Structure 1
């Protein structure tokens, strides 16, 4: 099977597209089994006798998006109410500089930029997996209710627990996300498990959970409601290294699993029968994708609150730019990082000195994106 795939990939057949998300294709342990990479592709050799097929355009788009995220991040570090020169910022990063410069760069701006990059990447990967699983561009965790369920779990911790922390909120959001996912999947499977059923069940449950969230806030004290409401809007305004460090650990642990899930998930897009005929355990793979996507979204919600739009739009925009037929996990992650860094910069500066919660700005952009997508679909038809 592996040798046949390598040969088909060398000829640029449809199997290459199905098994090569982001242009990362066959795990050709025997390089001699492949005739050579097709046009527009690169054959990478990461070591250990393994070879990966990469699409040139996908790599170029991902590199451009990373460069945009880095440039906007640097601009965010240097500008604002307190201006810094490049030399001042470099001195701070080298462990020097005066106390005010260190506080501005290390205490306020840098953790915010790092959090935006990590959260954007993780939400985008989560959205790409759920869209692939549902075979529907609306199948992102914020649309199908998983993010709302995670928010419910986080609110219960904040409003009920006497001592809420990042760890306990993360536990609450993860449990809430998993319970919501289980209910949505069960309801969708009773209707046949099609992608539209998953989306409809998720939207229905999301509305119910939104009412539950509003009820929880109405029963809270004024102080609790203020804290919970600020978190529920989705914001990076008060982010600190105490929240960024566990987020970074989670990203380092979780994001590499996207490489492991990418190829079989892309094969699953060909259909359950085709995936099963290729030896994939369809049920186990679906469960792994749901669990992985929920954990990614829940970790992000626990740190910054629910931030919509990214998981919905980033995979679609990445797929259009990279011009791939299936999953684009790597490009989606880069797109999500770039989008959230830009959105957070706008949230800081549009109404300066007042700062908009980035979740509100993202929700507004999400509405515009949905209208654009509906108009585009009507034009195509």
Structure 2
């Protein structure tokens, strides 16, 4: 055998060994993702049972299951189907939407601070929704439309301000924070121009609340999530490749521009409909993506897992919001703010130490 043949054989052996190693790593990654997904589903189901069981009238988990499958007594059906289930449905759908939106923005901009409630998208959606509700005096299906217009306007303006032959995540976040303050000022102006009763209701909604949630709030979010589900699955792998660098992604057949555009559009729509349904609930979008990514352990966006984290977080936070005070309910956004505030401080502190190191 000649030297050239030996080199060819050695190269082929090295290639086969590399492919075998890659296959092992991929199997381990998929196995971990599967275990994490099953665990998150169990947590979400437990949170749902707790939300439906606990209250002034305690309903056992068995009675909950009987009622949801068409059985149960009249009192259980009234309490669960008319009061607790609509609120839980909004919690779950909003949690999924915020979780996905946050994970998408954070992946596209490669910045853990790039969530809708930090970069002004949720505030823009709030301005649009409040403008429809209080200024135009219209409710119903036009509220999500107004929220979408407001969110898209802020996202577009943010992109225009941050563009310098391209968009860096750091510059986009800074511009978004500034636009969030502007949107909040406009929101406060709207509140001063309306009567006190309407303003009080709007303030509760702005804090992020599902206290008066109904199925009418749930259906638009569900429809949007279901319609965008194919895009979410399409993005899950491509965003992970995009984080390896545009050149690497392009070499593997992933269009960087198209992937970013689809992710931003999906994130804006999801954040808008979630805000229209429950208000700008703080920090759900910020927390869900990093938690899912850490649990998955492979450094990829983990969009389905982020949706499950957001769902569980909203359900548990709203359950706490109902019983944190003995004689009153608080908006769920206050509870998520208490949870997310320390996380944001930790994120900023670790980011500062990393840059100074």
TM-score normalised according to structure 2 size: 0.89
Aligned residues: 340
Structure 2 residue 81 is the aligned partner of structure 1 residue 76: no
- Alignment map for 1:107-122 (pairs within 5 Å): 107-122=82-97
TM superposition shift of 1:121: 1.5
Deviations 1:273-311 (A, max 9, x none): 333344433333222111110001111011111111111
For 2:17 and 2:102, how far apart are their aligned partners in 1? 29
- 2:138 is aligned to 163
| Structure 1 residues not aligned, in runs of 5+ | 1-6, 14-36, 43-53
Using a 3 Å threshold, how does the CA distance of structure 1 residues 9 and 84 change in structure 2: closer, same or farther? farther
How far apart are residue 164 of structure 1 and its match?
A: 1.2
Task: Note if 1:41 corresponds to 2:23.
Answer: no
- Does the C-alpha gap of structure 1 residues 124 and 86 become closer, same or farther in structure 2, counting only changes over 3 Å? closer
* CA apart distance, 1:119: 1.3
Which deviates the most, 191-200 or 81-90?
Answer: 81-90
Cα deviation for residue 379 of structure 1 reads 7.0
Is residue 122–residue 255 contact of structure 1 (8 Å, CA) maintained in 2? no
Give the direction of change, closer, same or farther, for the CA distance of 1:164–1:311 in structure 2 (3 Å limit): same
Counterpart of 1:99 (choices 37, 55, 74) is: 74
Selected match of 1:65 from 37, 40, 54: 40
Structure 2 counterpart of 1:149: 124
Q: Deviations over 1:97-134 (max 9, x none)?
A: 33322121001112222222221122111111100111
Q: What's the offset of the Cα at 1:272?
A: 2.6
Question: How many Å separate the matches in 2 of 1:354 and 1:367?
Answer: 23
* Structure 2 gap ranges (5+): 1-15
Counterpart Cα distance in 1 of 2:180 and 2:278: 19
Decide which of 196, 202, 207 is 1:222's aligned counterpart: 196
**Cα displacement (A) at 1:91:** 3.6
Q: Which whole-Å CA distance do the structure 2 matches of 1:334 and 1:9 have between them? A: 34
Specify the alignment match of 2:295 in structure 1.
Answer: 321
Does the residue aligned with 1:235 lie in a helix, a strand or coil?
coil
Structure number with greater Rg is 2
Deviation at 1:190, TM superposition (A): 3.0
Which SS does the other structure have where 2:112 is aligned? coil
Aligned equivalents of 1:255 and 1:288: distance in 2? 12
CA contact (8 A) 1:124 1:332 kept: yes
Aligned partners of 2:49 and 2:64 also within 8 Å:
no
Q: Which residue of 1 is the match for residue 304 of structure 2? A: 330
Match of 1:179 among 131, 153, 157: 153
> In the aligned structure 2, how far is the partner of 1:75 from the partner of 1:143?
30
Normalized per residue, which structure has more helix? 2
Give distance in 1, aligned partners of 2:26 and 2:124: 42
Does residue 88 of structure 1 match 2:74?
A: no
In the other structure, the counterpart of 1:303 is 277
User: Are the structure 2 counterparts of residues 107 and 11 from structure 1 closer, same or farther at C-alpha, using a change threshold of 3 Å?
Assistant: same
Superposed CA deviations along residues 63-118 of structure 1, whole A, max 9, x for unmatched, are 11111111121022112111112343234223343332212100111222222222
- Match for residue 164 of structure 2? 190
Contact 1:124 1:310 in 2 (8 A): yes
Matches within 5 A, 1:128-277: 128-165=103-140, 167-190=141-164, 192-277=166-251
277-286 or 265-274: bigger deviation: 277-286
- The CA distance in 2 between the partners of 1:179 and 1:59, in whole Å, is 38
Deviation string for 1:126-178 (max 9, x for gaps)? 1111001111110111111111111110110011223311x111000001111
SS at match of 1:41: helix
